[in-house]
């Protein structure tokens, strides 16, 4: 368990959410907040996050949408404990199970959720420079295949439930292949830093028992201007509203 001197306390969503994070371990950036912002959740629904870490994504969602019930699964005991601590700090309804997502305990395997979200490691194990901190190393490059993340998510979803997953663009083919026979109505929202640049990340939306055809949306641009010119915040208005006001990011051509 992290000691107090190993942690920092950081404000998210313009101060609506406060998170303890390891000073030297894995620290959440904007990606989990963006992931949470596109989930079409409403009060009374439930959400499961696979690999919840310290809770940045799921607690952002529970902050934005009051009246939901959250459950997180986290492999690393120190981070699972930190997610519980962050939920208590913010008085948010989150239960956390410390387990490998491929071997979930029976009690959790009996549950189904309206939404599943995930921010899996962006690199295949061994495909990135090894981080000195073990927590950060696991977060960047895990041993569990993306297909397993999708399979577990599909099993935990209620009929018509949604999966949202954020991942590097070059791993999108793996995600699409993993959804075959499990999830349908696939939609992809690319995320690009600036106009004219290739997207580095994508958010995949998929639905249990979905039948609609595949849709590839125009990229969501994160920053104003075609290049970074000064050490100041340059987010476009809709992204700034997500990060600072806890707003939802409108899914393009919502149906």
Indicate whether 160 belongs to any domain. Answer: yes
Indicate whether 133 belongs to any domain. Answer: yes
Assign residue 199 the CATH number of its domain.
3.40.50.150
**What is the predicted pLDDT for the residue at 230?**
56
The tens digit of pLDDT for each residue in 85-112 reads: 999 999 999 999 999 999 999 999 999 9
**What is the predicted pLDDT for the residue at 45?**
98
Indicate whether 123 belongs to any domain. Answer: yes
Indicate whether 136 belongs to any domain. Answer: yes
Indicate whether 3 belongs to any domain. Answer: no
Torsion sign, CA atoms 64, 65, 70, 75: negative
Indicate whether 254 belongs to any domain. Answer: no
Q: Mean pLDDT, the chain, as a whole number?
A: 92
The tens digit of pLDDT for each residue in 153-171 reads: 999 999 999 999 999 999 9
Indicate whether 250 belongs to any domain. Answer: no
**How many domains are contained in the chain?**
1
pLDDT above 70 (res 127): no
DSSP helix, strand, coil percent of the chain (3-state; round to 5): 30, 30, 40
**What is the predicted pLDDT for the residue at 126?**
54
Indicate whether 14 belongs to any domain. Answer: yes
pLDDT band with cut points at 50, 70 and 90 for residue 116: very high
**What is the predicted pLDDT for the residue at 129?**
54
Segment 187-213 shows an average pLDDT of 97
**What is the predicted pLDDT for the residue at 136?**
44
Which is higher by pLDDT, 133 or 214? 214
pTM of structure: 0.91
Angle at 154 between CA 189 and CA 44, to 5 degrees: 80
**What is the predicted pLDDT for the residue at 137?**
45
Question: Which residues constitute the domain of residue 176?
Answer: 8-245
pLDDT above 70 (res 141): no
Which is higher by pLDDT, 83 or 233? 83
pLDDT band with cut points at 50, 70 and 90 for residue 254: low
Lowest mean pLDDT among 10-14, 34-38, 230-234: 230-234
Residues 6+ positions from 247 with CB-CB distance below 8 Å: 37, 64, 238, 241
- Is residue 192 within 8 A of residue 222, CB to CB? The reply is yes
**What is the predicted pLDDT for the residue at 255?**
46
């Amino acid at each position: 368990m992290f000691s107090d001197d190993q942690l920092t306390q950081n404000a998210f969503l313009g101060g609506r959410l406060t998170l303890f994070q390891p000073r030297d371990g894995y620290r959440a950036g904007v990606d989990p907040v963006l992931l949470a912002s596109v989930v079409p959740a409403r009060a009374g629904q439930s959400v499961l996050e696979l690999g919840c870490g310290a809770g940045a994504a799921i607690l952002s969602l529970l902050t934005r949408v009051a009246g939901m019930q959250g459950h997180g699964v986290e492999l690393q005991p120190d981070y699972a404990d930190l997610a519980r601590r962050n939920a208590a700090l913010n008085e948010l309804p989150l239960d956390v199970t410390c387990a490998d997502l491929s071997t979930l305990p029976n009690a959790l395997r009996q549950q189904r959720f309206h939404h599943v979200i995930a921010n899996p490691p962006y690199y295949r194990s061994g495909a990135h420079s090894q981080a000195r901190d073990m927590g950060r190393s696991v977060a960047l490059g895990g041993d569990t295949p993306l297909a397993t993340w999708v399979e577990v998510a599909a099993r935990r979803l209620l009929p018509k439930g949604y999966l949202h997953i954020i991942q590097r663009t070059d791993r999108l083919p793996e995600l699409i292949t993993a959804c075959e026979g499990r999830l349908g109505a696939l939609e992809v929202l690319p995320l690009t830093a600036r106009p004219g640049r290739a997207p580095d990340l994508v958010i995949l939306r998929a639905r249990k028992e979905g039948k609609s055809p595949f849709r590839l949306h125009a990229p969501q641009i994160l920053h104003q201007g075609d290049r970074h010119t000064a050490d100041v915040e340059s987010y476009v208005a809709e992204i700034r509203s997500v990060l600072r006001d806890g707003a939802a990011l409108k899914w393009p051509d919502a149906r």
